Amino acid sequence: MATKARIPDTDATLRGSVGLESSYRELNDVQLHVVAAGDPDDPLVVLLHGHPDFWYGWRDQIGPLVDAGYRVVVPDQRGCNLSDAPDDIDAYRLSNLTADVRALIHDEGQESAHVVGHDFGGFVAWHLALGSPSMVDTLGILNVPHPTVYGKALRSSPRQMLRSWYVWFYQVPRLPEWLLGRNDMANMVQSLEYTSHEGTFDDETIERYRAAWQHTGVEPRVNWYRGFRRSDSPQRTTVTQPTLICWGEDDVALSPSMAQQSVDYCDDGQLRMYPDASHWVHHERPAVTDELVRHLTENGR
């Protein structure tokens, strides 16, 4: 009998850093894998990855935030890497994804946190700040628009509709999973390379991502977008917390015009645009990490 190939570890040992640890938390009826670092008594920062990412996407930000005096926790969001992957599409509604983050903050013994999100994790961060404002001290957003701005663009901008083709494609039953999972997830790899600048993801990093996708398969990640389409809009539109938006202008999926429009929905918003940077701006521009640390330090508790 053939022996099934072992999937490489994709927990905190990927970094091999002293003080970086993995745990499994029973939160909101799912088990989430969480990577954490820093003194538990320090102010809390929660970093939220997007698609097709996992906790490892924040590897370059964890250390500088800890050095700046923060406790940093980075969950694999439900359906990703080592976290549970419910079968029901409704499990991936934004109401459940934000509930996971609220439960994680409370599990850390805190009533609030600084929250930073990239890509789909940015949508979770926006919704958390709008739906549970008392739980978000400051908000950091990387290359994803305010939900109201995005909704308007999908209704009125043919260019953005075209750029967001994948959102509609992911609503098709079974076909996206088959296409993304075939040939050892070659199309998932291509999505990383297509949305980034050359050299952003080297061969070793891509293999780590491929291993993370193998743990749960691609269906739960597609279900994020199906759940997104079933999610309710936030009851309010104005973000009251200090907000920093960092945006790589070469994003192939999201128009940079939505960045400034998103700031207009923030009472205290700042925008940093990065020419010649892609959707993966925090991988390609070290200045983004510096801006995040400065944002938290100047506006946090």
* Residue 47, C-beta contacts closer than 8 angstroms, at least 6 positions apart: 55, 58, 61, 62, 72, 73, 74, 116, 117, 121
- Tell me if 177 sits within 8 A of 217, measured CB to CB: yes
Question: Rounded to whole angstroms, how far apart are CA atoms 150 and 36?
Answer: 31
Q: 262: helix, coil or strand?
A: helix
Question: Rounded to whole angstroms, how far apart are CA atoms 212 and 80?
Answer: 7
Q: On the CB side of 232, how many CA atoms lie within 13 Å of its CA?
A: 9
Q: Which residue matches tokens 């370059």?
A: 60
- The total number of residues shown for the chain amounts to 301
Active site residues: 119, 225, 279
Distances (CA, A) of 198 to 54, 195, 274, 281: 20, 10, 16, 13
- Cβ-defined contacts of 153-160 (< 8 Å, 24+): 153/255, 153/258, 157/255, 159/255, 160/254, 160/255, 160/258
Pairing of strands 266-274, 239-248: parallel
Instruction: Give the residue among 298, 258, 300 at the shortest CA–CA distance from 279.
Output: 258
